[in-house]
Amino acid sequence: MDKLIAKDRFKQLADMWYLREPAFFAVYCINNLTENPYINCAIRCGQGKIEYNAEFINSLTDNQLEELMKTEMIRVFLKHPYSRRPINCPNEKLIAASDMTLYGHYKFDEYRFVNPADFGLETGKFYEWYLANIPNDGSNGEDADTDDNSNNDGKKYGYETDVPGSMSDRAALWDEDDERCDKINELIEQINSSNSWGSIPGNLTEKIVASSKAKIDYRKTLSGFRASILSSKRHLTRMRPNRRFDFQQMGSKYDLETRLLIAVDTSLSVTHLELANFYGVIQRMFRYGVAQIDVIQFDSQLQTPQPISLKDAKHLKISEVKGRGGTDFQVVFDYLREHNFYDGMIIFTDGYATQPKIEFFTRTKFVWVLSDEKCYDEHNGWMKKIGRVCYINAK
């Protein structure tokens, strides 16, 4: 019976949104409503689903249910459940950063959500900025409440919120999903073109629309670069049929031969968050089809005379990242001159250095990946003379 009562309440809310809140109704409809009696929270979103616990839902008033649902729908609009997840970032921190992003843009009447003042942070910043600036232990310099019997486990991290259930469970479905982000961006464009935002305030709609726009799509740039460097070597074999003559003739086997060099700027102007974001993108986009990926670190000099693997580079701690001085691109191209067998090279940097001189012949193709849009605007002119250019904004 609980399941029917809870499900009927969601249907009633959806019917009301259909008439009064077209934006909330639209984003609600692209998610599958699913009951999960094992979660320790009322509602959570992610992986294209809205999961709910009927026991929690039945304890909420209609106003409380609507506020929680609206909050989750706004998170989806801003794509927080589908954004890149920093390495070893606890779920509680994800929820807290999301709450802080909403603070000042949306009025909460029923519950107290985490706000920037709890940690002495500025309001009006982006989700990624709050993720980078919330203390790792969630405390604001005072002793956090460590009562493990609390129903809201965010309390033991120092997060001030009275939203029912576990903060950790509320972000348990959050994971990077570019396809889902694209679908949400298309929905935002449709809503914005018809100006069907309902009660969502103007400053929040501007933030939502801004989150859906990207001047440079790094995925297209890197995908095109990947396609241009892929190579393989053909071998004849009796173990595979010939496409034309079946087993009467020898078939073909192709072995991957693509070798990729990644040069990472580890100067102080490139943050650890930006490095982690970059490694995550590269691992996802170059996971298949590349036989060898070598990573070198550089600032004003080469910090890794012997390349390391992408896996090892991704899991380096802040204290293990070598360099953190100035930047000199010439050392990277000098290394390539001595190891001129790579099919492609990716240089991740903020761009603040002298243009390198390439005074040797190479078949290697290049792509520059800048750490944010501002760096791209300043440096893409001369970089395009060498190779492709894009940026990945982690701020």
- Distance CA(81)–CA(98), nearest Å, equals 9
CATH of the domain at 229: 3.40.50
List residues bridging with 247 in a β-sheet: none
pLDDT at 74 over 50: yes
| Residue 40 belongs to domain spanning | 2-211
Range of lowest pLDDT (52-56, 230-234, 263-267, 285-289): 230-234
Given pLDDT bands bounded at 50, 70 and 90, which one contains residue 143? very low
Instruction: Please tell me whether residues 14 and 131 are part of one structural domain.
Output: yes
- The string of pLDDT tens digits covering residues 31-61 is 999 999 999 999 999 999 999 999 999 999 9
The mean per-residue pLDDT over the stretch 293-319 comes to: 80
Instruction: Please tell me whether residues 119 and 180 are part of one structural domain.
Output: yes
Instruction: Please tell me whether residues 240 and 124 are part of one structural domain.
Output: no
Q: Which residues contact 317 (CB under 8 A, 6 or more apart)?
A: none
User: Hey, what are 213's tokens?
Assistant: 């726009």
Please state the φ and ψ torsions of residue 248, each to the nearest 5 degrees: -70, -25
Q: Which residues contact 343 (CB under 8 A, 6 or more apart)?
A: 229, 230, 231, 257, 258, 259, 260, 363, 364, 365
pLDDT at 285 over 70: yes
**Given this model, what pLDDT does residue 61 score?**
93
Instruction: Please tell me whether residues 232 and 202 are part of one structural domain.
Output: no
Instruction: Please tell me whether residues 73 and 125 are part of one structural domain.
Output: yes
**Given this model, what pLDDT does residue 344 score?**
94
Final residue in a domain of this structure, among 156, 179, 211: 211
Instruction: Please tell me whether residues 160 and 243 are part of one structural domain.
Output: no
Taking residue 88's Cβ as centre, other Cβ atoms within 10 Å add up to: 10
Instruction: Please tell me whether residues 167 and 300 are part of one structural domain.
Output: no
The mean per-residue pLDDT over the stretch 336-341 comes to: 94
Final residue in a domain of this structure, among 177, 211, 245: 211
* Arithmetic mean of pLDDT over the chain: 84
Instruction: Please tell me whether residues 52 and 162 are part of one structural domain.
Output: yes
Instruction: Please tell me whether residues 36 and 55 are part of one structural domain.
Output: yes
- Distance CA(44)–CA(51), nearest Å, equals 5
The whole-model pTM stands at 0.55
Helix axes 62-77, 202-211, angle to 10 degrees: 40
Q: Which one-letter DSSP state was computed for residue 269?
A: T
Q: How many domains does the chain have?
A: 2
The b-or-e profile of 157-171 (16+ CB within 10 A means b, else e) is bbbbbebbbbbbbbb
Instruction: Please tell me whether residues 90 and 60 are part of one structural domain.
Output: yes
Q: What is the largest CA-CA distance in the chain?
A: 78
Final residue in a domain of this structure, among 192, 211, 230: 211
Range of lowest pLDDT (304-308, 341-345, 388-392): 304-308
User: Hey, what are 11's tokens?
Assistant: 């249907």
- Distance CA(12)–CA(15), nearest Å, equals 5
What is the Rg, in whole angstroms, of the alpha carbon atoms belonging to the chain?
25
pLDDT at 353 over 70: yes
Instruction: Please tell me whether residues 257 and 363 are part of one structural domain.
Output: yes
Are the C-beta atoms of residues 324 and 267 closer than 8 Å to each other? yes
Query: Terminal CA-to-CA distance of the chain, rounded, Å?
Result: 47
List residues bridging with 138 in a β-sheet: none
If you write DSSP's letter for every residue of 137-196 in order, what string do you get?
T--SSSPPP--TT-SSGGGGGT-----SB-HHHHTTT----HHHHHHHHHHHHHHHHTT-
- Distance CA(324)–CA(163), nearest Å, equals 41
User: Hey, what are 178's tokens?
Assistant: 């570019």
Q: Is 214 or 181 the better-scoring residue by pLDDT?
A: 181
Instruction: Please tell me whether residues 282 and 384 are part of one structural domain.
Output: yes
- Distance CA(54)–CA(4), nearest Å, equals 9
pLDDT at 222 over 80: yes
